[in-house]
Structure 1
Amino acid sequence: MSTITTRRTLKHSLLALSLGGALISSQAAFADSPGALIIAGGFLQESHQDIFQAVINPIDKSAADIRLGVVPAATGNISGNYGKIVEAFTRLGLAEENIRLLPLAVNDDKRTEDVDESEWVDNGRDEELAASIDELDAIWFLGGDQTRITAVLLEEDGSDTPVLAAIRDFHSRGGVLAGTSAGAAIMSSSMLAGGDSQGALFKGFSDDYESMNNQEFGPAVVRPGLGFFEAGLIDQHFDRKARLGRLLAVMLEHEDGQPLGIGIDEGTALIVDNDEWQVAGSGGITLVDTSEATRPSSGFPISVENVRLGYLLPGDRYLPESGEYHVREGAYETSGNEYFDVPVSLQSGLLSANRNLQELIGFDLLDNSATEQVTSLLVGDENQGLRIVFSQDEQTQGYWSQDMTLDRYSFENVRMALEPLRVELHTP
């Protein structure tokens, strides 16, 4: 797309919100409401300063006076990953002495010879630590294995430890909670702990979870989360690990499924504040809505029609109560203004163009007048397969913008269907 003049400006585009001080309203104005949630999809880099800044913005203090607590339980490299968080926030003006490592862990960090962090496993019950939570302004949950966070903060019967109860009270009174990767997974009431899309769509669920290896393959593993985010089911590392199928399977078939799923890309954060959702970072956020989905058949492989997908980029805003999208400044509608008119092939993976969701929907479907649907194929074991169909109707809209010369697409109300197939492969 070489020129912006071929597009029609969105009538409902809003002024862009900076990713600095204006990104979230002042905490002081909402002290009687729950604090902001900054839920990051993992693999953060130094360049993602806007995500770290989003933790600071709601707090009605100078950066130098902000007190940050860090929960390290998920990581096996406590010293190293804590140090990186200290570096990230001191670059933004926090005083190092105001950043505090909260002694909550399950495993020992072998890099620290003078302390055995595995001895912190029962510290969720430490009343003194619980009382100290009230001294903080924000809490950051490190990434790693999310089951370690819940192991140290939940009792065996699923009830809150004193420290978790204190964190809930802290958040209910305006305290900011943030986390990345595993620290994002724990945010919803149900926690996606393991499995991949293929395993979940074809095989369903498993109770077995032995190590972080289970995060990468097999049936979905669902465990209780901490429930700070109640609007839907969170999944993370969403783009690179292709977790759309995993999230959808849990939403449709698991007893703890919910009709709204939120998939957060790596290097990206969902920012929840004052009943409004925004995006920070370099990727996007996928919204999966099954409220009007229909099931031609139950069980596995998953069969479903009329799932609705949305995708948000930095600068977009979403109001979950009304379902309204407010699109970033400078974005243009694709419907009726399609740039491309090219036939599309079956999307089959590594040798197909536009392999990720945003590119497939944007380039091949919404900004292409030659087709009303695009199709992908997933092949499982035992001759099982799934045809995955993305289509558009009168409710669908795409939004195109450019970052320098990079084309970016967000969208709302794209239809998705899964159709089980029997696959037979033959060599010539």
Structure 2
Amino acid sequence: MELRKKLISILTSSMLMSSLFGLTLGNAQTENDDIKGNLLIVGGGLGTSNKDVYEKFIELAGGKDARIGIIPSASSKLKSSNDFKKDLASYGVKSEFVEILPISDHDFSDTEENEMNWKDNVNNSKIVNQIKKLSAIWFVGGDQLRIVNTLRTNGKDSKALQTIWDIYRNGAVIGGTSAGAAIMSNTMITGGDSLGALKGFYEKNIDERNVSEYEPLTVQSGLGFFRNGIIDQHMNERARYARLAISAINYEKEGNFAYGVDEDTAMVVRNKEKIIEVIGRNGVAVINANEARRIGESKKSDKPILENIKISYLTAGDKIHYITHTFEFAEGKYETRGYEYYKFYARPNTGILTPYGRFKNYLAYSLIDNESMQTLKSYIYDKEGKGFEIIFNKEIDTNGYWKYVDGQKDDYSLENVSMNIIPKTFTFSSDKEETSDYQKSAFKTTKNNVNEKIEGSLVITGGALGSSNSEVYKKLIELAGGKEKAKVGIIPAASSKLTSSIDFRNDLIKQGVNKDSIEILPVSNHDFKGTQEDESEWNGNKNSTELVSKINNLNCIWFVGGDQTLITESLLNENGSKSKVLEAIWKVYKNGAVIGGTSAGAAIMSNTMIAGGDSYGALRYGFTESYVNMEQQEGGPVYLEQGLNFFQYGIIDQHFDNKARLGRLIATAYEKGEKNQLAYGIDEDTAMVVNNKDQRVNVVGRGGLTLIDLSKVHTDKNKSSNYKNIIVSVISPGDSVDLLTNEILISNTKSPTRDNEYYDNKVPPYSGAFSPHGLLKNLLAYGLIDNIKANEVKSYSFMEGKGFELTFRKTVETNGYWANTDGQKDDYSILKVSLDIKPINVEIK
């Protein structure tokens, strides 16, 4: 964790600029020699299960007989070094060949020894001789200043650092995560966030009243193992794109790119080939500020534009030729230019209710792979409304590259998106006018609760289920009786292709289910692309006695994703009654079968089915009675239909994190939900597992489950979408919910955050792609729950001068729970945050 700097008095922009001249290169870095070694630079949050990164590090170190030294100095505890050593052993490295080097300038809080005495070891001949025998060095995360201060004294390299440079030149690999990544470049970013960096660049004097809301940019000299650009880390989670861009403009004068490495991701620098390769689970942002210019200062305008910053984004398998400044995209990725998949009007990225709100996804779905958009906007500002408008443009050299990864998850690489930044002032005021645009829903909810006992279970997945997500697959198979007894029927009706059903079948086979026990059922009302058969002829099968006989022998039914209206049309009769096939599915479900589905296959699970609309459209415009096609799922008012009612305890929504559906679930639950029931929003790659016998929901997978409680909500009868005291909880894998009492049970592996808060900073409004912690769970966790100085956090959603203010507050019932998961990744559960939503007018000048 980086040290938070509070030195307000020195944070003027002139001092930021003058600090450039204080950056000096260490002695070992000044020689322009040929380096035979390589670098493996991880952006933080490295998962123990991230096989690609661990195996690459071990390979570059010389294999499983490699001798590896871990430098623990960045951390406040020795635990992270011990954990990394254990991780290496789990991948086959001999424990006796991995040494935690006694190098530190401070004591560790989790040991009896006083490690402050290790400071002098950096010039100890015994330690130097240890390092000479190593083929790899690893820097753990924490505070990057501690690493530099430990290995350098008065600006001079210690003997230990000189020796690390020697083995690096001769072929050793140097690796590090988080702080261990920050130290890799000559210019080391030591503090700051995107808002603070922009304010420091634009303002002559930073406003000391608000400086605690953001952190101004600070830099100093790093260790310089990577000599061709600035490195930043935690890029995606902390949205550091502006701080990296300003760093590149201010401090990178050699025409190099600047690189922002995501969490659980590595850039592998091959010095001999002059190539960077991206590996891991996310990506590397590449910022080209060489042609960036600041215009407008000499004119009457007092709002100069920072223009023509180019941003690219590379993912696993992509390569960067860092001398020639060219990209090489992985084989199997398809260009999006001229072949855009989407065609919808994308809203500006204004806050936590924006679909695809995180930086990469916002540019990928809303701009690059969207035929309808040439320009996008996002914002960032402080509590007084002083901030910036960020404009993203497609240019002649802009392109995107797409493929599926880990099953059917979209993966994008982006090339040369242009970014302009303009200072703006934002004014928010209450909208006291009646919302004439808002339409209530005319959809009539049918009371379909089943009186008899249901023996079966549900595995309801929020979409983008990874083939590697063994927890979800294992749970589905377990509930179907195990690998030997599972008999699975896959219903393909939602999709436009049969490939998703075939892929799911293959995933089950990989998990050990007998291939002869899995069948794709002929249920569809439309033809599939890429097949010779005309599947539209299957529409008559909904009342087929032969198909009913097949279903009677199954103990697992799975609905693939796509368009949920196609599922209901394929299984309900024209008068809305259940077809014979649907009756058969209900029969096996009552008798103990498990029913599962993903995306559209999750939407159909509740009685009221959400089939279209987004959060802003729901709050501003309400509901619509018409449905055209799947593009309606990307935006606009909410469209509702009759669902299949397998889950009888509330309304379900899916893709909840990536498509930011909090607003639409609240609006739907308020109009169509039952007051004593929760509403459920399921994240991607995550399942809510419903045990009807125990009447309990368990969370399984990789994301969260958002719970909306409207039992205490207050509204304004004369004003639509004006809510007070919505209760929001977000729970994680291992947690559960009692469906009768709505009581939430948190896994006993997590520790409460109340009275043990880790963070102590004020938080600016969450305002778009450059705001850190872009998912709802993370915003509430880092900004509010685990933050002693924050009692509330705000976000906005607006367009064309109209919008909504969201205020999340702590109450006496609010609590948070924290644990490490998959290595040292933070995992939070959040209980009972109060949310108010207020209609507002927005003025931008």
Q: Which residue of 1 aligns with 2:333?
A: none
Question: Residue 249 of structure 1 is aligned with which of 660, 667, 675?
Answer: 667
One-letter amino acid matched to 2:497: N
Q: Which residue of 2 aligns with 1:286?
A: 706
SS at match of 2:479: coil
**Cα deviations by residue, 1:72-99 (Å, 9 ceiling, x for unpaired):** 0000111x11211111111121111110
Q: Is 2:472 the counterpart of 1:51?
A: yes
SS at match of 2:605: coil
Q: Which residue of 1 aligns with 2:590?
A: 172
Q: Which residue of 2 aligns with 1:22?
A: none
CA–CA distance in 1 between the matches of 2:588 and 2:706?
Answer: 29
CA–CA distance in 1 between the matches of 2:540 and 2:480?
Answer: 30
Q: Which residue of 2 aligns with 1:133?
A: 551
One-letter amino acid matched to 1:58: L
CA–CA distance in 1 between the matches of 2:472 and 2:754?
Answer: 32
Question: Residue 486 of structure 2 is aligned with which of 66, 69, 90?
Answer: 66
CA–CA distance in 2 between the matches of 1:210 and 1:195?
Answer: 12
> 1:288·1:307 contact (CA, 8 Å) conserved in 2?
yes
Q: Is 2:462 the counterpart of 1:41?
A: yes
Q: Which has the higher contact order (CA 8 A, sep 6+)?
A: 1
**Cα deviations by residue, 1:153-195 (Å, 9 ceiling, x for unpaired):** 0112211011111111111111110000000000000100000
Q: Give the superposition deviation at 1:330.
A: 2.4
One-letter amino acid matched to 1:424: E
Q: Give the superposition deviation at 1:52.
A: 1.3
CA–CA distance in 1 between the matches of 2:494 and 2:759?
Answer: 45
Q: Which residue of 2 aligns with 1:122?
A: 540
One-letter amino acid matched to 2:839: P
SS at match of 1:368: coil
Q: Which residue of 1 aligns with 2:645?
A: 227
One-letter amino acid matched to 2:650: G
- Sort the Cα spacing of 1:116 and 1:298 in 2 relative to 1 into closer, same or farther, 3 A: farther
CA–CA distance in 1 between the matches of 2:787 and 2:554?
Answer: 51
Q: Which residue of 2 aligns with 1:181?
A: 599
> 1:232·1:258 contact (CA, 8 Å) conserved in 2?
no
Q: Give the superposition deviation at 1:299.
A: 5.0
CA–CA distance in 1 between the matches of 2:500 and 2:642?
Answer: 25
Q: Give the superposition deviation at 1:131.
A: 2.6
Question: Residue 206 of structure 1 is aligned with which of 603, 608, 624?
Answer: 624
> 2:814·2:832 contact (CA, 8 Å) conserved in 1?
yes
CA–CA distance in 2 between the matches of 1:319 and 1:309?
Answer: 16
One-letter amino acid matched to 2:734: G
CA–CA distance in 1 between the matches of 2:573 and 2:486?
Answer: 30
Q: Is 2:784 the counterpart of 1:365?
A: yes
Q: Give the superposition deviation at 1:64.
A: 2.9
One-letter amino acid matched to 2:616: Q
Q: Is 2:374 the counterpart of 1:374?
A: no
TM-score of the aligned structures, taking structure 1 as reference length: 0.89
CA–CA distance in 2 between the matches of 1:248 and 1:323?
Answer: 17
- Sort the Cα spacing of 1:380 and 1:256 in 2 relative to 1 into closer, same or farther, 3 A: farther
1:261-280 equivalences under 5 Å are 261-273=679-691, 274-280=694-700
Q: Which runs of 5+ in 2 are unaligned?
A: 2-75, 80-107, 110-451
1:325-404 equivalences under 5 Å are 325-381=744-800, 383-403=801-821, 404=823
- Sort the Cα spacing of 1:344 and 1:414 in 2 relative to 1 into closer, same or farther, 3 A: same
One-letter amino acid matched to 1:108: D
Q: Which residue of 1 aligns with 2:568?
A: 150
**Cα deviations by residue, 1:85-144 (Å, 9 ceiling, x for unpaired):** 11111112111111011100122113111x111111121111221232110010000110
**Cα deviations by residue, 1:383-424 (Å, 9 ceiling, x for unpaired):** 212110000111111001112221121111111110111112
Q: Which runs of 5+ in 1 are unaligned?
A: 7-30
Q: Which residue of 2 aligns with 1:408?
A: 827
One-letter amino acid matched to 1:243: R
Q: Which moved more, 1:396-405 or 1:320-329?
A: 320-329
> 1:200·1:249 contact (CA, 8 Å) conserved in 2?
yes
CA–CA distance in 1 between the matches of 2:677 and 2:486?
Answer: 37
> 2:675·2:711 contact (CA, 8 Å) conserved in 1?
no
> 2:678·2:742 contact (CA, 8 Å) conserved in 1?
no
CA–CA distance in 2 between the matches of 1:239 and 1:255?
Answer: 21
Q: Which residue of 2 aligns with 1:14?
A: none
SS at match of 1:303: strand
SS at match of 1:54: helix
One-letter amino acid matched to 1:283: G
- Sort the Cα spacing of 1:97 and 1:210 in 2 relative to 1 into closer, same or farther, 3 A: same
Q: Which residue of 1 aligns with 2:842?
A: 423
> 2:650·2:673 contact (CA, 8 Å) conserved in 1?
no
CA–CA distance in 2 between the matches of 1:355 and 1:293?
Answer: 26
**Cα deviations by residue, 1:299-320 (Å, 9 ceiling, x for unpaired):** 53x1000110111111112212
**Cα deviations by residue, 1:337-380 (Å, 9 ceiling, x for unpaired):** 11111011011011111121111110010111111100001113
> 1:38·1:271 contact (CA, 8 Å) conserved in 2?
yes
- Sort the Cα spacing of 1:319 and 1:32 in 2 relative to 1 into closer, same or farther, 3 A: closer
TM-score of the aligned structures, taking structure 2 as reference length: 0.46
CA–CA distance in 2 between the matches of 1:49 and 1:297?
Answer: 47
> 1:250·1:257 contact (CA, 8 Å) conserved in 2?
no
CA–CA distance in 2 between the matches of 1:255 and 1:340?
Answer: 37
Q: Pairwise CA RMSD of aligned residues? A: 1.9
**Cα deviations by residue, 1:228-272 (Å, 9 ceiling, x for unpaired):** 001010000000000000101111235889852100000000001
Q: Give the superposition deviation at 1:425.
A: 2.0
> 1:34·1:171 contact (CA, 8 Å) conserved in 2?
yes
One-letter amino acid matched to 2:630: M
- Sort the Cα spacing of 1:256 and 1:182 in 2 relative to 1 into closer, same or farther, 3 A: farther
- Sort the Cα spacing of 1:202 and 1:128 in 2 relative to 1 into closer, same or farther, 3 A: same
Q: Give the superposition deviation at 1:275.
A: 1.1
> 1:190·1:256 contact (CA, 8 Å) conserved in 2?
no
CA–CA distance in 1 between the matches of 2:710 and 2:602?
Answer: 22
